[in-house]
Amino acid sequence: MKEIYISVDVEAAGPVPPTYSLLSIGAVAVDTPDSTFYVEIQPINANFVPAAMQVVGRTLEQFQKTGKPPRDAMMAFREWTDAIAGEANPVFVGFNATFDWAFINFYFQEYLRENPFGIGGIDIKAFYMGLSGCAWEDTKSSKIPSKFKGKSRHTHNALDDAIEQAEMFQRMRERAAAKG
């Protein structure tokens, strides 16, 4: 079956669901970068880590006002994923994917009882480690060579960061294919 790689980034109120809320999801089809998705989500509780909210740059109260209810947000994400994938298998791609996937998986399971990405995905950091032979410590974004980075910058907006990740993953895939 054909696969479609979807770069996903999230912003959250803390490190783990459901103790902390998922606040936004950004996604982009890696091979068709004009195909994007973005949604903000109402918090499921009042818990937050101050440093996480500083990174996000907004308060839980603001997300409560502007975000969609979690079920509606996940339904919209599912509908977008299904439309983009068509008959292909959607594959989750993330930079430090274990963090982002944990939130996506929990919210899909909690609100829709199914995750269209299945039980895993591709971690760009691990992909880079395999490609370069570097140590895990050297997979930080700040240590990845500029030849793998695209024009997009890391802004802590989930869509911007999903686009940045897609560019990075695409360049790494091209490098891996060239190595043969």
| 154 included as an active-site residue | no
Q: How confident is the model at residue 77 (pLDDT cuts 50, 70, 90)?
A: very high
Q: Rounded distance, CA 104 to CA 121, Å?
A: 11
DSSP E strands in the chain: the ranges are 3-12, 22-29, 32-40, 89-94, 121-123
Is 39 within 8 Å of 76 (Cβ atoms)? yes
Work out how many domains the chain is built from and give that number. 1
Span 116-151, pLDDT tens digits: 999 999 999 999 999 999 999 999 999 999 999 988
Return the CATH number at 52.
3.30.420.10
107 close to 70: Cβ distance less than 8 angstroms: yes
pLDDT digits (tens, 9 = 90+) for 90-125: 999 999 999 999 999 999 999 999 999 999 999 999
pTM equals: 0.96
Domain span holding position 78: 3-179
As a whole number of angstroms, the distance between CA 58 and CA 37 comes to 20
| pLDDT for the residue 180 | 72
Catalytic residue (choose from 65, 140, 143, 156): 156
Sheet holding 121-123, edge to edge: 32-40, 22-29, 3-12, 89-94, 121-123
Q: What pLDDT, on the 0 to 100 scale, is given for residue 81? A: 98
